[in-house]
Amino acid sequence: MNLADLIRRPPQWRRSGGPMSDVVFSSRVRLARNLAGMPFLTRCTETQLSEVAGLLRGALMRLSMGGETLYVDLAATDAVDRQLLVERHLISKQLAETDIPRGVAIAGDETVAVMVNEEDHLRVQVLRGGLRLDACYGEIRRLDEMLEGQLSFAFSSRFGYLTACPTNVGTGLRVSVMMHLPALRLTGKLETALRAARDMHLAVRGLYGEGTEALGDMFQLSNQVTLGRSEEQIVADFRDEVVPVFIDYERQARKALLEHRRMALHDKVHRALAVLRSARLISSEEALQLLSYVRLGLSLEILDGLGVEDINELGLVVQPAHLQKLYDKRMSSAERAEARAALLRQRLGGQGAVD
Amino acid sequence: MNLADLIRRPPQWRRSGGPMSDVVFSSRVRLARNLAGMPFLTRCTETQLSEVAGLLRGALMRLSMGGETLYVDLAATDAVDRQLLVERHLISKQLAETDIPRGVAIAGDETVAVMVNEEDHLRVQVLRGGLRLDACYGEIRRLDEMLEGQLSFAFSSRFGYLTACPTNVGTGLRVSVMMHLPALRLTGKLETALRAARDMHLAVRGLYGEGTEALGDMFQLSNQVTLGRSEEQIVADFRDEVVPVFIDYERQARKALLEHRRMALHDKVHRALAVLRSARLISSEEALQLLSYVRLGLSLEILDGLGVEDINELGLVVQPAHLQKLYDKRMSSAERAEARAALLRQRLGGQGAVD
């Protein structure tokens, strides 16, 4: 497997739906770990950074993850490849943009990605479609134990695992879900819901995590504090107390739309699909927004004849790096807008699909 | 023929196109006349207003116009009927909204409409599709002569025909064209063109004449001064000097769009048709704007399989009074938005047309 293979197929987890996938797009658990006896990244010399990267690459390639493991040395990739990995949620924007020795180990099925030299020496993430935090957590426990067998991590008996940012000290664990909240936005209740999330000490982020904007009505909600609580507690609270509240908010909003603004909702959904099937130029932002309405329309059975898994896949392939890899050339923003529109017409059976 | 018949068929002149109909939607010539020995309307008593209306109704019913003549006593109509006549350009908004004794005589083919007690005692208008000012003028000359045979008009050997507003004194003639100028707007050159029109002493008005806004990129250009020039001169100047300038501006703008913004133009046109074919709610303003893009797309052969005459007809039937007459009930703005969208889907063969 190499990087070029990635573009040929979407990750299976993204197509498979999963529990509560009408609202919960994906679940993610990640661990932050640092090597004992080695400074945090910001205090490493160039030599030490390379040493960490080399050491961890070796350890990760010996790890058994989902399918064959691909290790990508990010210093040896170009910007489009790194952007491709960001779009697939396999690395963070931050890791894409620094220029220190760094890399990522990716499981063949893309349910696991381990970033090396991001903010901590190691950032292990497990991803699944729908609300599947237990599965994510089980897998990350397994990976953590296997890594502990090979490596020695910075740990304090008083604080727990030590991390570069104090908010991660303790378990080093962060639990998050990517939620699709179009109805909350359409009913004007999004800000209230997100304020409630912040009051519950959750971090609310955009489609690509910290410092990114919400695209296609996707919002990442995650726990913010890991110190002083057991890992099991964090996962259980998040799964049983936190996420259901927001699922309920969104479902109530969808019900309200169906009951009180039925025609306006149908209008939005049908127009969205019509524009996706007929545009000749379309930006990534607009495409994601319209796909969001189509996804909502499928979930509420306003539309049929389309699979939500195909819509989820389109949400990935319309993005800039994916488009350029698919067409195998560098494209300007204007060229991408044209290629994106052609791709959408082709995939959605639109008018003029074979222009 | 009665008012209810009007809704059953669009006027033929609106469907027939005519010369330069890629840019010139319609041509119109009108005459203002007042009865000799009778005060102008603003100085008439109620009795005199009724007397004028009765006298002119009789004279108009004896006139031979295109097809059977329908005389509508506007004081006996409801607001929707009057709005229907405005939408068909058979009466002015002003005449629809006053409450004095007044009426309109309409030729069966709707190429002639004579308003009684609008601003002057008589306002005779002749309408044709495309650039057909000569035909309009010929017909209005014929009507004027026939009216002169029955009636005596206020005339001064020094000033010519006397009218309520000084700008109409002289010939009482106004010549105008309704132009479709979408490319000038899309290229940002509309303001410059309209400023040039005003510099040429033309009046620029919206879709429904004086004091109305431009809808669907339709602009009425008309001559502003009638004193001191012969009728033939006015018509010839307007036809040969004035209108061709604006036809050329618009055609140049269309050419520029095709050459330099081809994809953006195709995008606008295809999106417009897709939205018209799929919306579940649509306002009159938006429908007219989207029909404008479709009309442009047909003219530039970006679209085919649709007749421009059907698009012209839709531009009429999507309007509020037409919709209500078509569905034969009073509808709120929200109900109209739904009915309008359903009608457009049905007429344009859209998705969910038989919802």
Contact between B324 and B251 under an 8 Å Cβ cutoff? The reply is: no
Between chains, do B267 and A279 touch, taking CB under 8 Å as contact?
yes
Which pLDDT score is estimated for B170?
A: 86
Pair B239, B98 in one domain: yes
Any A CB within 8 A of B351 CB:
yes
Select the residue from A186, A261, A266, A286 to test the B interface by mutation, using most B Cβ atoms within 10 A: A266
CA distance B353 to B156: 60
In terms of pLDDT, which residue wins out, A354 or A292?
A292
Of B223, B226, B215, which is closest to residue B180 (Cα–Cα)?
A: B215
Asked if residue B192 and residue B107 are part of one domain, the reply reads: yes
Query: DSSP per residue over B173-232, as a string?
Result: EEEEEEEE-HHHHHTT-HHHHHHHHHHTTEEEEBTTBTT----TTEEEEEE---TTS-HH
A275 contacts in B (CB within 8 Å)? Answer: 271, 274-275
* Beta carbons of A263 and B352 less than 8 Å apart: no
Per-residue confidence (pLDDT) for residue A230, from 0 to 100: 81
For B199-236, what is each residue's pLDDT tens digit? 988 999 887 666 667 789 999 999 866 666 788 888 99
Last residue of a domain, which of A223, A254, A285? A254
Identify whether residues A157 and A289 lie together within a single domain.
no
User: 3-state SS string over chain A?
Assistant: CCHHHHHHCCCHHHHCCCCCCCCEEEEEEEEEECECCCCCHHHCCHHHHHHHHHHHHHHHHCCCCCCCCEEEEHHHCCHHHHHHHHHCCCCCHHHHHCCCCCEEEECCCCCEEEEECCCCCEEEEEEEECCCHHHHHHHHHHHHHHHHHHCCECEECCCEECCCCHHHCECCEEEEEEEECHHHHHCCCHHHHHHHHHHCCEEEEECCECCCCCCCCEEEEEECCCCCCCHHHHHHHHHHHHHHHHHHHHHHHHHHHHHHCHHHHHHHHHHHHHHHCCCCCCCHHHHHHHHHHHHHHHHCCCCCCCCHHHHHHHHHHCCHHHHHHHHCCCCCHHHHHHHHHHHHHHHCCCCCCCC
Smallest Cβ–Cβ distance between A266 and the set B266, B277, B280 belongs to B280
Tell me: the pLDDT tens digits for B293-328? 999 999 999 998 899 999 999 999 999 999 999 999
Nearest to B279 among A271, A277, A280 (CB): A271
Locate the chain B residue with the closest alpha carbon to A277: B274
Query: Which residue type is seen at B298?
Result: L
Q: Which sign does the torsion angle of CA B233, B236, B241, B242 carry? A: positive
Average pLDDT over every residue of A135-163: 94
Q: Any residues with CB less than 8 A from the CB of A186 and at least 6 apart, and which?
A: A253, A257, A261, A265, A268
Flag if A278 and B274 touch (Cβ within 8 Å): yes
- Alpha-carbon distance of A246 to A189, in angstroms, equals 12
Regarding pTM above 0.80, the answer is: yes
pLDDT score, position B171: 87
Mutation pick from A261, A262, A269, A281 vs chain B, by most beta carbons of B within 10 Å, is A281
Cβ of B266 under 8 Å from any chain A Cβ? Answer: yes
At a CB cut-off of 8 Å and minimum separation 6, what does B59 contact?
B147, B150, B151
> Which residues of chain B does A294 touch, with a Cβ-Cβ cutoff of 8 Å?
none
- Whether residues B278 and A274 touch (CB distance < 8 A) is answered with yes
What does the pLDDT read at residue B33?
A: 96
The better pLDDT of the pair B86, B227 is held by: B86
Asked whether residue A355 is domain-assigned, the answer is no
Higher pLDDT, A228 or B197: B197
* Backbone torsion region of residue A271, taken as left when φ is above 0, otherwise alpha when ψ lies between -120 and 50, otherwise beta: alpha
Where residue A355 falls among pLDDT bands split at 50, 70, 90? very low
CA dist., res. A188 & res. B290, Å (int): 28
Q: Among all chains, which residue has been given the structure tokens 């349910």? A: A111
Decide: A50 and A101 in contact? Cβ < 8 Å.
Answer: yes
The answer to whether position A353 is within a domain reads no
Residue of A nearest to B350 (CA): A274
Round the average pLDDT of chain B to a whole number and report it: 92
Residue in B266, B275, B282 closest to A274 by CB = B275
Give me the number of domains chain B comprises: 2
Q: What is the DSSP letter of B153?
A: B
A270–B279 C-beta distance less than 8 A: yes
- The phi, psi pair for B260, rounded to 5°, reads -110, -20
Are B320 and B185 contained in the same domain?
Answer: no
A277 contacts in chain B (CB < 8 Å) = 274
Is the Cβ pair B275, A273 closer than 8 Å?
Answer: no
Indicate whether A37 and A123 sit together in one domain: yes
The whole-number pLDDT of residue A189 equals 95
Residue A280 has its nearest CB partner, among B267, B278, B282, at B267
Q: Are residues B182 and B310 in the same domain?
A: no
Range in A161-170, A186-195, B39-48 the model is least confident about: A161-170
pLDDT score of B351: 62
Say how far apart CA A100 and CA B262 lie, in whole Å: 44
Note the helical H segments in chain B. 3-8, 12-15, 46-61, 79-87, 93-97, 133-150, 182-186, 190-199, 231-237, 243-260, 262-276, 284-299, 308-317, 320-326, 333-347
| Domain end position, chosen among B228, B254, B280 | B254
- B281 CB near a chain A CB, below 8 Å? yes
Within this chain, do residues B106 and B183 fall inside the same structural domain, yes or no?
Answer: yes
Q: Is the pLDDT of residue B273 over 70?
A: yes
Question: Where is average pLDDT lowest: A301-305, B6-10, B26-30?
Answer: B6-10
- How far A128 CA sits from the closest chain B CA (Å)? 35
Across the range B58-72, mean pLDDT stands at 90
Domain membership flag for residue B354? no
Q: For residue B10, what is the domain's CATH number?
A: 3.30.590.10
With respect to residue B136, please indicate whether it lies within any of the assigned structural domains: yes
Predicted confidence at residue A212, as pLDDT, reads 66
Q: Is the Cβ pair B341, A281 closer than 8 Å?
A: no
Nearest chain B Cα to A341, which residue? B267
In a domain, A354, yes or no: no
B203 and B271 belong to one structural domain: no
Do B110 and B69 lie in one domain? The reply is yes
Residue A208 lies in a domain: yes
Task: Out of A267, A278, A281, name the one closest to residue B263 (CB).
Answer: A281
pLDDT at B22 over 80: yes
In this structure, the strands spanning B24-33 and B122-129 are antiparallel
Tell me the per-residue pLDDT of B27-45, one tens digit each, with 9 for 90 and over: 999 999 999 999 999 999 9
ipTM of the complex: 0.89
* Average pLDDT value for residue range B59-82: 91
Cβ contact (<8 Å) for A352 and B270? yes
Domain assignment present for residue B353? The answer is: no
Higher pLDDT, B108 or B122: B122
Distance from CA of B266 to the nearest CA of A (A): 6
Same domain as A320, residue A227: no
Residues of A in contact with B274 (CB under 8 A): 274-275, 277-278, 351
pLDDT in tens, A236-288: 989 999 999 999 999 999 999 999 999 999 999 999 999 999 999 999 999 99
CB distance A270–B264 less than 8 Å?
A: no
Residue A290 has pLDDT above 60, yes or no: yes
Interface contact flag, B275 A271, Cβ < 8 Å: yes
- Asked if A194 and A219 touch (Cβ cutoff 8 Å), the reply is yes
Contacts of A273 in chain B (CB under 8 A): 278
Burial class (CB in 10 A: 0-12, 13-18, 19+), B232: exposed
Q: pLDDT class for A167, splitting at 50, 70, 90?
A: confident
Q: How far is Cα B306 from Cα B296, in angstroms, rounded to an integer? A: 12
- On whether any CB of chain A is under 8 Å from the CB of B353, the answer is no
Query: Judging by beta carbons within 10 Å of its beta carbon (0-12, 13-18, 19+), is residue B285 exposed, middle or buried?
Result: exposed
Interchain CB distance below 8 Å, B281 and A267? yes
| pLDDT confidence bin for A211, thresholds 50/70/90 | low
Q: Is residue A300 part of a domain?
A: yes
pLDDT at A1: 62
In the predicted structure, residue A160 carries a pLDDT above the cut 80: yes
Cβ within 8 Å, pair A273-B278: yes
What is residue B314's predicted lDDT score, i.e. its pLDDT?
94
User: From B342, which residue of chain A is nearest by alpha-carbon distance?
Assistant: A267
Structural domain ending residue among the three candidates A233, A254, A275: A254
- Which of B 235-264 lie inside 8 A of A, CB atoms? 263-264
Residue of B nearest to A304 (CA): B352
> Average pLDDT of chain A?
92
* Cβ–Cβ < 8 Å for A158, A70: no
pLDDT surpasses 60 at A6: yes
Please work out, in degrees rounded to the nearest 5, the angle formed at the alpha carbon of residue B169 by the alpha carbons of B167 and B173: 85
Spell out the residues 6+ positions from residue A338 whose beta carbon is closer than 8 angstroms to its own: A280, A281, B263
Q: What is the pLDDT of residue A354?
A: 42
Tokens 């929707």 appear where?
B80
Instruction: Give the gap in angstroms from C-alpha B218 to the nearest C-alpha of chain A.
Output: 25
Give chain A's radius of gyration (CA, Å): 21
Range of the domain at B344: 262-348
The residue with tokens 């007749």 is: B307
**Same domain, residue pair A178 and A242:** yes
Kindly list the residues from chain A whose CB atom is less than 8 angstroms away from the CB atom of residue B266: 280
Q: Which residues of B touch A300 (CB under 8 A)?
A: none
Residue B346 contacts by C-beta under 8 Å, 6 or more apart in sequence? B353, B354
HSE toward the beta carbon, residue A160, CA cutoff 13 A? 19
- Claim to verify: residue B188 and residue B225 sit in the same structural domain: yes
Q: Does B341 touch chain A (CB under 8 A)?
A: yes
Cα–Cα–Cα angle for A37, A43, A49, rounded to 5 degrees:
75
